[in-house]
Amino acid sequence: EAGVAQSPRYKIIEKRQSVAFWCNPISGHATLYWYQQILGQGPKLLIQFQNNGVVDDSQLPKDRFSAERLKGVDSTLKIQPAKLEDSAVYLCASSLVRQGDEQFFGPGTRLTVL
Amino acid sequence: AQKVTQAQTEISVVEKEDVTLDCVYETRDTTYYLFWYKQPPSGELVFLIRRNSFDEQNEISGRYSWNFQKSTSSFNFTITASQVVDSAVYFCALRVDRGSTLGRLYFGRGTQLTVWP
C-alpha cells in the first residue's frame, strides 16, 4: 500500500515570497491533516479536513496560510507571503475516520525562508 | 486543555543498554488515546503504538514495551537491548476525540535518542 506522498521535499524561498506544498493521502483515507514542525518541537496541527470539508483550522494563521482539498483527495497548503518564522517542516498525514485511528505521515516538506 | 510533556530532551546510550523514554500527559477528558511515534533522520513520523484510556494493560512488541499508568498520567516507552537503528526522535502524543478537536494530536517536544555502537 502506498504511503502519504508529499512534494516538494525541500524548498528555499526569500521572505515575502509565496510557496505551495502538495499532499496525496493514503487511498481511502477520508481525513487529512497538515502539521507544522518547527526545529526542536513536536508537530502542531494547522488544519484538518474530512473529505473536502474543514474540520479544524483554529491554529492556521489565516492571514497568510491557506489550504484546500478539492475532490476530497489530495491537498495543497499555501503560504503567502512567507515570513522567517515559517521555516519549518510541513507534514501531511491521513487517517480513516474512526475514533482513535492512528495517523500516517508523509516525509514532509522542509521549508527554509531566508 | 491537553498537554504532553517529554522532559528528556536528549538521551545517549551504548548499544545493548536498555532505555526508557518518559511521557506525562494532561487532560480532563476520560476518553482519550495515547500514541508513540518515531522520527528517524529521514523525517517521516512512524507510528509505533496506540493505547486508549480504558486499556491500562502494558504491551510488549519485540524489544519495545510500553507502561501506561493512569494514576500518574504517564505512558512510558522502554527499548530493551537498544540498537544503533533505534537512534531517532521519539514523540509521545495525546488525542481527544471531542468536538472541534476531533482527531487532533497533541505532541510532546520529543526525545532525541542516540545509540552508540
Q: What digits encode the pLDDT tens for the residues A49-93?
A: 988 899 889 999 999 999 999 888 999 999 999 999 999 999 999
B94 pLDDT higher than 90: yes
Chain B residues with CB-CB distance to A110 below 8 A: 43
Percent above pLDDT 90 for chain A: 81
Task: Show the cell assigned to A69.
Answer: 482539498
Chain B residues with CB-CB distance to A106 below 8 A: 44
pLDDT at A52: 84
Taking the C-alpha atoms of residue A101 and residue A30, their distance in angstroms, rounded to an integer, is 12
Chain B: residue nearest A42 by CA? B109
A56–B109 CB contact, under 8 Å: no
* CA angle (B85, B89, B90) in 5-degree steps: 100
A56–B100 CB contact, under 8 Å: yes
State the average pLDDT over residues B57-83: 93
- What pLDDT band is residue A102 in, cutting at 50, 70 and 90? confident
What are the residues whose beta carbons fall under 8 Å from the beta carbon of B99, sequence distance 6 or more? none
Adjacent-strand bridge partners of B112: B10, B89
Q: Which of B44, B52, B100 shows the shortest C-beta gap to A100?
A: B52
Place of cell 494514576: B71
State the average pLDDT over residues B12-28: 97
B103 pLDDT higher than 80: no
- What pLDDT band is residue B91 in, cutting at 50, 70 and 90? very high
Over chain B, what is the mean pLDDT?
A: 92
Lowest mean pLDDT among A104-113, B13-22, B41-50: B41-50
pLDDT in tens, B21-55: 999 999 998 889 999 999 998 888 999 999 989 88
Residue A51: left (phi > 0), alpha (psi -120 to 50), or beta? left
- What pLDDT band is residue A96 in, cutting at 50, 70 and 90? confident
- What pLDDT band is residue B71 in, cutting at 50, 70 and 90? very high
pLDDT at B101: 63
Chain B residues with CB-CB distance to A33 below 8 A: 103, 105
Chain B residues with CB-CB distance to A56 below 8 A: 100-104
